[in-house]
Amino acid sequence: MARLELDSVTKRFGEGDGSVLAVDDVNVDIADGEFLVLVGPSGCGKSTTLRMVAGLESITDGEIRLDDQRINDQAPAERDIAMVFQSYALYPHMTVRENMRFGLEESTDLPADERNARVEETAGMLDITELLDRKPGALSGGQRQRVALGRAIVREPKAFLMDEPLSNLDAKLRSQMRTELQQLQEDLDTTTVYVTHDQTEAMTMGDRIAILDAGELQQVATPLEAYHRPANRFVGSFIGEPSMNFVDCGVDDGALLGEFEVPVDGPDESRIGLTADDEDDRQLETVEFRYPLGADVRDAVAGSAEAALGIRPEDVLIEPVTADDESDAAAAGASPLGDAAADHVFGGIVTVVEPMGDENVVHVTLDDGPELVATVNGLRRIDSGTRVRVGLPADAIHVFDGDTGEAVHSRSLDDAELDERRV
């Protein structure tokens, strides 16, 4: 039952010239009962941030408050926080029961029978009652994971901290535990900070996610907001799988204009399967990729000299060019390209198709240079080498400033979709 605030939290390892800034001025306000996921690539400072909250690392600068109380200088034990570690960190010489009871013995003065009752109850909740008298060495990975959770839950702390708790499980167990953990957190309603490098976990588990990169907080938002309105190019590329497509362009007269070098004989079938050496021998020519912008976006990019066009793979529309409509390209009315305006449709060729079952991940190279990834329905059959028309609808594009990477325009979306609570 607690609100957790990180106020300009900074961590610097070492001193002087050799010091490393691991966490740089992070501000997050986590509401009581909220499930916040801290996500970012490895080395981005997310674990360090969590360890500062736990009291395992000192805080170089800034303040961490738990229920409006500054806890910077409190020892870990005084903070009433429980943590689930990546390695589970179970005590190997103690039974599951003793493992779960240890924290109660050391941090509370509950009478023995009450401690035991709490352990039993928590074990029941996690369905590990029959494991209580076993030692960690005799448990499977999934069972150890539950015990580690139980050890945190039994203490009824103000907040849970979880440091990649699912990363040692196999894929199937991981997705199962993901659901279960979410359910559990909702039931317990305890403030939780969950660290992961896995953007799927971040998207599916958190009430909100905080994305960190190189020690700096990039965005704090609900998963959908982070997905559809990434604050910057990093967030756009980190959240979502396959990653968002980016085309680096200049801003030119109401349009995004990119220059690309492509082989003279075009990106045709003969190119597939060539080695890098072969590529080097090919004659190159410069082509232009031009993407006209609508009035509102034009204003947004007015201040930028360079900009990156961003578009999610599922928004890249693809339609094969068949022999008969090659001559009659205007027949785009009811095609998968939908309402993409004609100047937002580009010719290209499919280079690789990765069938995933439910969808196909299609890599296309546009005649104008950019290489894009698109996802299409798994039942649609598309072969590599197919010539396609590629639609990049104006309402689906993001535009990021070329220098700062900040988003200057996000895709159009009915705002109601974002505000809707996830179920």
Is 86 near other proteins (CB under 8 A)? yes
Query: Which of 187, 253, 281, 324 lies at the binding interface for other proteins (CB under 8 A)?
Result: 187
Q: State the alpha helices, DSSP H only, in 264-412.
A: 276-281, 295-300, 323-326
* 207/193 Cα distance (integer angstroms): 10
Task: Return d(Cα 245, Cα 239) in angstroms, integer.
Answer: 12
Task: Measure the CA–CA gap between 423 and 267, rounded to whole angstroms.
Answer: 45
Are 293 and 343 a contacting pair, CB within 8 Å? no
> Length of the chain, please?
423
Contact between 156 and other proteins (CB under 8 A)?
yes
Q: Tokens in use for 251?
A: 């801003």
Taking CB under 8 A as the criterion, the residue among 8, 19, 140, 377 binding other proteins is 8
Does 61 help bind other proteins (rule: CB under 8 A)? yes
Rounded to whole angstroms, the Cα distance separating 239 from 40 reads 9
Interface with other proteins, residue 180, by CB under 8 A: no
Question: Does position 114 bind other proteins by CB under 8 A?
Answer: yes
Q: Are 61 and 34 in contact (CB under 8 A)?
A: no
- Report the candidate in 65, 177, 156, 310 with the shortest Cα–Cα distance to residue 196: 177
Tell me if 71 sits within 8 A of 65, measured CB to CB. Answer: yes
CB 249 within 8 A of CB 289: yes
Residue 271 gets the label, from left (phi > 0), alpha (psi -120 to 50) or beta, of alpha
Q: Which stretch binds other proteins (CB under 8 A): 154-162, 237-245, 293-301, 343-351?
A: 154-162
Segment contacting other proteins (CB under 8 A): 181-189, 207-215, 219-227, 386-394? 181-189
Our CB check for other proteins shows the closer of 4 and 308 to be: 4
Question: Is 342 an interacting residue with respect to other proteins (CB under 8 A)?
Answer: no
- Minimum CB separation from other proteins for residue 103, in Å? 4
Stretch that binds other proteins, among 102-110, 274-282, 303-311, 395-403 (CB under 8 A): 102-110
Residue 129 lies near other proteins (rule: CB under 8 A):
no
Between CA 89 and CA 149 the distance in angstroms is: 11
The reply on whether position 237 binds other proteins by CB under 8 A is no
Nearer to other proteins, 93 or 282 (CB): 93
**CB of residue 324 to other proteins, shortest distance in Å:** 56
- Taking CB under 8 A as the rule, does residue 82 contact other proteins? yes
Q: How far is CA 140 from the centre of its chain?
A: 29
Nearer to other proteins, 108 or 140 (CB): 108
29 binds other proteins (CB under 8 A): yes
Structure tokens at 339: 């309402």
For other proteins, the binding residues (CB under 8 A) are 1-3, 5, 7-8, 29, 31-33, 54-56, 58-63, 65-70, 72-73, 75-77, 80-83, 85-87, 89-93, 102-103, 106-108, 110, 114, 118, 121, 124-125, 151, 155-156, 158, 183, 187-189
